[in-house]
Amino acid sequence: MSNQNVIKPNDQKGLSLVELMVAMVIGLIILAAVSTLFANSNKNYKTTDSLARLQENARTAVQFLSNDIRRAGYIGCMGSIDNVQVNLNGGNINGILLAPFTGTEGGGTASDTLTLQYLDLTSSVAVTASMQSEGESLTVAAGHPFKQYDIVAVTDCDKTDVFQITNNAASGTTIAHASGSLPAPYQGNSTGNLSKAYSTNAFIMKFSQLKYEIRNGASGRPSLWRGGEELVEGIENMQVLYGYRTDPTIRAPNVYATVNNVPSWKSVVSVRVGLLANSIADTTTGEIGHDVDTKTYNVNGTTIDPPDDRRTRRTFLTTVETRNIQ
């Protein structure tokens, strides 16, 4: 028998234990590097996405605030609130005196509130028949948007009357404004007589009140609320200043003050709103890898020291010129 095909033990090739261990160590190093790279990339993606959402929410808040502030004080073609008669019981609207703006100072670092009042031009309906007396019901075309207990105003370029509709207006073409009390929580009218007998050059519009405030939303965290509805989450503080002029011959504001320090709404020509927004993602466990936020923030002149958590924050400031105040 030939021995040329016999494999001797010394001729066998393979990995030694040392070589295997070296290969495993190299593999683990590569795996650790790849894992670290993946973790950092994922963290950066979540951070960027969270910041983008923060900025988008803040832009939405600023856009709504700007649009609504520009409407404040609109009472028709008359152009001034001097000739507005509030016929509601108490001489106010839902407990608020007639003014383009009102609000409350949060005090310290708490958020302010901002309430805007104006006639909703999108609900404008023409009066179709002249009144024969100040106490007569108004007449409009069928299909109007008004219903019983709506607070509305009838206005022309001379006068404006604010009142509560007392009849089932939705089913007909007459708008009644009788005096007397109404079922709670409705306010009712102190008088059934308007300031004048309006003719067919008048229009009826809904009276709008929009309150902006900061309170907890569906997520349990602070949000910006508009008119009793949650508008944007992640807005945790709002500070409002009103720019007014001390010289009536100029248009530009030369003083900015809080709501309690405005001498007259007629002198207000702009509103400056500061917002502090935070990231929406819950990073309290450090999943996204943010450092703990120990910074303070200047929000429209007020220093805010938020909780030392792992959320990203940004401040936003917008100044809006008023259009309907002379």
Say how many C-beta atoms besides its own lie within 10 A of residue 167's C-beta.
16
Tell me if the bond preceding 185 is cis, omega within 30° of 0. yes
The residues with which 153 forms a beta bridge, in sequence order, are 162, 205
Residue 294 confidence (pLDDT): 87
How does residue 86 score in pLDDT terms, banded at 50, 70 and 90?
A: very high
Structure tokens at 20: 């295997």
Decide the pairing of beta strands 160-164 and 113-129: unpaired
Check: CB of residue 267 under 8 Å from CB of residue 246: yes
Say how many C-beta atoms besides its own lie within 10 A of residue 60's C-beta.
14
pLDDT tens-digit map of 137-155:
999 999 999 999 999 999 9
Instruction: Find the mean pLDDT for residues 18-29.
Output: 78
Does the structure show a pLDDT above 70 at 290?
no
Residue 324 confidence (pLDDT): 80
Return the CA Rg of the chain: 33
Does the structure show a pLDDT above 80 at 312?
yes
Q: How far apart are CA 274 and CA 313, in angstroms?
A: 13
Residue 195 confidence (pLDDT): 95
Residue 47 confidence (pLDDT): 66
For the chain, report the end-to-end CA distance as a whole number of angstroms. 120
Instruction: Find the mean pLDDT for residues 6-20.
Output: 64
Does the structure show a pLDDT above 90 at 135?
yes
pLDDT tens-digit map of 46-72:
666 777 888 999 999 999 999 999 999
Residues sharing a CB contact under 8 Å with residue 62, sequence separation 6 or more, in sequence order: 273, 275, 316, 318
Q: Where are the beta strands (DSSP E) in 65-202?
A: 84-86, 101-104, 113-129, 138-140, 151-155, 160-164, 174-175
Instruction: Find the mean pLDDT for residues 185-203.
Output: 96
Does the structure show a pLDDT above 80 at 13?
no
Most distant CA pair in the chain, distance: 136
Residue 40 confidence (pLDDT): 63
Residues sharing a CB contact under 8 Å with residue 230, sequence separation 6 or more, in sequence order: 217, 218, 223, 224
Does the structure show a pLDDT above 90 at 316?
yes
pLDDT tens-digit map of 225-280:
999 999 999 999 999 999 999 988 888 899 999 999 999 888 899 999 999 999 87
Residue 262 confidence (pLDDT): 92
Q: How far apart are CA 112 and CA 255, in angstroms?
A: 19
Decide the pairing of beta strands 160-164 and 84-86: parallel
Nearest of 172, 156, 150 to residue 77 by alpha carbon: 156
Does the structure show a pLDDT above 90 at 129?
yes
Structure tokens at 50: 């969270």
How does residue 286 score in pLDDT terms, banded at 50, 70 and 90?
A: very low
Per-chain mean pLDDT for the chain: 87
Domain spans of the chain, in order of start: 51-321
Which of 85-89, 181-185, 309-313 has the largest mean confidence? Answer: 85-89
Count H helices, E strands: the chain?
Answer: 1, 16
